Amino acid sequence: MTWNWKTGGVALGLAIFIAVLLVKPIGVSTQFVIFDAMVADKINPDLITPTDDGGWTSTNAYLAKSDGKYAKNAANPLNYSFIFVLAMMAGAGISAWLRGGNGKEDNRIPALWRANFGDAAWKRNLAAFGGGFIVLYGARLAGGCTSGHMMSGLMQTALSGYIFTVGAFAAAIPVAMMMYKKDVEL
Amino acid sequence: MTIFLALVVGGLFGFVLDRIGVTNPSIMGRMHALMNLAVMKTILLAIGVGSILMFGGQMVGLVDVGHMSVKTAYIGVFVGGLLLGTGWAVSGYCPGTGLSSAAGGRRDALYFIAGGLLGAAAYMVTYPSVKAMGLLEKIGGGKVTIGTVPGSGYDGLTGLPGDVLGIVLGLVFVVVAFALPERPRKGEPVPVAAE
């Protein structure tokens, strides 16, 4: 069901290569901001506004930075990066469906979590929510995530990719070693 | 055409993410806790393969150097990496795999996405103070690669030819992927049967 590391590594390598061959390196975390901006602009239409010279800007300094790059993408959802992320979800969904899914129990609480922290879904959901908050705050502070900094960055020999990767694992390894004492056979 | 490429490239990427197992938080947690590094070997091999193909393609003229997109190096990249790593270990998800896992039916991934949207919104709001703290000041020259990639427009940290160095580093990733033990802590944690 899960490809072994050699098959998987070559397949993932080809996928990130095809992205840079045809368009540009992959990246995901920016689209959380774009989605937030789309929703916020629906609630407050003054958030994102066109400029006199045909561009876009925002009353939010982050959306307005780099000549309103994010404001522009939030105003035009049919752009490459946003559709890329939706297509990624579709591709992953199709793959999961073709292999028969993860099973009802694992969809509720993953096996490793259950072995270490028990069967209360609220605990798992709270950890996922809190983890998500820190992950995306960190990704935006870093200017990219595991996709943009780690895979694309290291592939391109970017200094920023190395700095990010060292930071991410310097935190992830000790935190996980403290949290997950019990192993599971998957 | 742009949208068509987004569908093809994004769809392929998502399909592969699911097939290599990173849409399973248990696999990610076991990797982070150094219980099973198979998926680490997958990622290292992928970076190596991608690097060799991209820089090799550039050298023979098949890959447009202009497609490269190098991100800026600054202190916040490291601090943000620490934060992301912490949340990644706690939840077992990163932004791409959280979205992909939700699409594959994982319910906890929906909570990850909700938290992520709130975290991204929090960054949008706090961005001016982050900037004022100096966390976004460039280091090491900012948008730089380790060697100098011909025609890329990016400076090199060193004067070494960036395309040749890219292939060499790509090969290093491949070698490390093969050399890395799959079970470095074998025998230490007591295996517990999964339900």
Q: Give B-chain residues touching A29 at CB under 8 angstroms.
A: 95-96, 120
Q: Give A-chain residues touching B20 at CB under 8 angstroms.
A: 2-3, 5, 8-9, 11-12
Say yes or no for a CB contact (<8 Å) between B123 and A136.
yes
Indicate whether A23 belongs to any domain. Answer: no
Indicate whether A117 belongs to any domain. Answer: no
Mean pLDDT across the stretch B160-167? 98
Indicate whether A85 belongs to any domain. Answer: yes
Q: pLDDT digits over A140-154, tens only?
A: 999 999 999 999 999
Q: Give A-chain residues touching B4 at CB under 8 angstroms.
A: none
Residue B184 pLDDT: 83
Q: Please enumerate, as own/partner, the contacts of A119-125 that have beta carbons within 8 Å and a separation of 24 or more.
A: A121/B107, A121/B108, A124/B108, A125/B107, A125/B108, A125/B111
Indicate whether A49 belongs to any domain. Answer: yes
Q: What distance in Å separates the CA atoms of residue A65 and residue A29, rounded to the nearest whole number?
A: 17
Say yes or no for a CB contact (<8 Å) between A2 and B21.
yes
ipTM: 0.97
Indicate whether A84 belongs to any domain. Answer: yes
Question: Tokens in use for A132?
Answer: 């998500």
Determine contact: A77 vs chain B, CB below 8 A: no
Mean pLDDT across the stretch B4-13? 98
Q: pLDDT digits over A89-104, tens only?
A: 999 999 999 999 999 9
CB burial readout B138-176, b (16+ within 10 A) else e? ebeebbbbbbbbeebebbbbeeebbbebbbbbbeebbee
Within 13 A of B5's CA, how many CA atoms are on the CB side? 14
Is residue A117 within 8 Å of residue A123, measured between CB atoms?
Answer: yes
**What's the total number of domains in chain A?**
1
Determine contact: A36 vs chain B, CB below 8 A: yes
Q: pLDDT grade, residue B195 (50/70/90)? A: very low
Nearest to B145 by CA among B163, B171, B128: B163
Indicate whether A126 belongs to any domain. Answer: no
Find the domain containing A58 and state its range.
Answer: 28-101
> To the nearest whole number, what is the mean pLDDT of chain B?
95
Indicate whether A176 belongs to any domain. Answer: no
Q: What distance in Å separates the CA atoms of residue A94 and residue B118, rounded to the nearest whole number?
A: 27
Indicate whether A173 belongs to any domain. Answer: no
Q: What distance in Å separates the CA atoms of residue B121 and residue B123, rounded to the nearest whole number?
A: 5
Cα dihedral: B69, A57, B80, B90 (round 10)? -110
CB atoms within 10 A of CB B98: 34
Q: pLDDT digits over A28-75, tens only?
A: 999 999 999 999 999 999 999 999 999 999 999 999 999 999 999 999
Determine contact: B2 vs chain A, CB below 8 A: yes
Using CB atoms, pick whichever of A5, A90, A101 lies closest to residue B42: A5
User: What's the N-to-C CA distance of chain B in angstroms?
Assistant: 46
CB atoms within 10 A of CB A52: 5
